[in-house]
Copies of this chain bind each other. A is one copy, B any other.
């Protein structure tokens, strides 16, 4: 396909169109992705996650500048789940990182898809593949929040940064389960704020307590940055490079990581496919609407209604 060639040679417009098609869930995009797949696997993927307000986009902006100075090309995906209520996307990349807008070596895009289920995770992974196939040396994926989507998306990263700010550690316990174990590097941004030592201490304690989990021999470092003043960014990129070399140094670990990534990719896709094939079909049926009415009138409980609808759909089908 012509478009496949265009993307492999870095044609910006072709890439932008394909990512938009992925985000809009256009079926043809999938055919292009199939063809592109053999050209993937070369970019180094950095995940950047953290709550709103910690300064992720400024941090990513500075990382891009430093990587560009070293002659590396960079793709950035900002993942902004669309509100399920309005269906509208947020401004995202349109207002941010303007300073790189004239640089051909940087490609910035935001993802907003909110599919039936599994949608955002899969479309983001596909978009990573596209930036990888177009030849970017680094792909940075920025996610808002600490939800399950973020954790799933972050599994596609080679190195994951967890960004925090001082004084957010009040319920460090709440952060722990969702976030600690996916973090390869912890970044305390806005480190000029009060309470930075306590936050560093809290994170360090959590890492020590969770030590047995770090079987692969990597103990996540904790760095302080002031992204707005370009402080600590070079050190952060040095740590990312160390982590990259660490991953490359261990064949068993590397093949385990590849296995996990492929497994997780395929699982997401299967979920998505099942959603499209069955779920959407069910929920657009008359039986579904009838069931809702009966549930409201308490003529049936939702569990029984669900069982009936799903069995009718799958009747004597599976196995």
Q: Chain A 118-149, CB within 8 Å of chain B: the 1/0 string?
A: 10100000000000000000000000111111
Q: Cβ of A144: which chain B residues have Cβ within 8 Å of it?
A: 146, 174, 178
Give chain A's interface secondary structure class.
helix
Closest Cβ neighbor of A87 among chain B residues? B177
Question: Are B148 and A262 interface neighbours, CB within 8 A?
Answer: no
Question: Are A90 and B174 interface neighbours, CB within 8 A?
Answer: yes
Closest Cβ neighbor of A307 among chain B residues? B273
Residue among A81, A151, A177, A259 with max Cβ neighbours from chain B (10 Å): A177
**Copies per complex?**
2
Give Cα A313–Cα B277 distance, bound, in whole angstroms: 12
Within 269-319 of A, Cβ neighbours of B (below 8 Å) are at: 269-271, 273-275, 277-279, 281-283, 288, 291-292, 295-296, 298, 301-307, 309-310, 313-314, 316-319
- Count of residues in A whose CB is under 8 Å from the partner chain: 95
Q: At the interface, yes or no: A250 with Cβ under 8 Å from chain B?
A: no
Closest Cβ neighbor of A313 among chain B residues? B318
Within 226-282 of A, Cβ neighbours of B (below 8 Å) are at: 255, 258-259, 262-263, 265-267, 269-271, 273-275, 277-279, 281-282
Write 11 A-B pairs (CB below 8 A) sorted by A numbering.
A37-B298, A51-B168, A145-B145, A148-B149, A266-B288, A266-B295, A269-B303, A274-B278, A278-B318, A281-B318, A313-B318
Out of B53, B178, B275, B301, which one reaches A171, CB within 8 Å? B53
Q: At the interface, yes or no: A176 with Cβ under 8 Å from chain B?
A: yes
Give Cα A41–Cα B295 distance, bound, in whole angstroms: 11
Closest Cβ neighbor of A88 among chain B residues? B177
Give Cα A74–Cα B41 distance, bound, in whole angstroms: 53
Question: Are A302 and B146 interface neighbours, CB within 8 A?
Answer: no
Q: Cβ of A283: which chain B residues have Cβ within 8 Å of it?
A: 267, 270
Q: Cβ of A81: which chain B residues have Cβ within 8 Å of it?
A: 147-148, 177-178
Out of B148, B259, B318, which one reaches A277, CB within 8 Å? B318
Closest Cβ neighbor of A83 among chain B residues? B177
**A34-B303, A145-B51, A147-B147 as given contacts; A271 in contact with B266, CB under 8 Å:** no
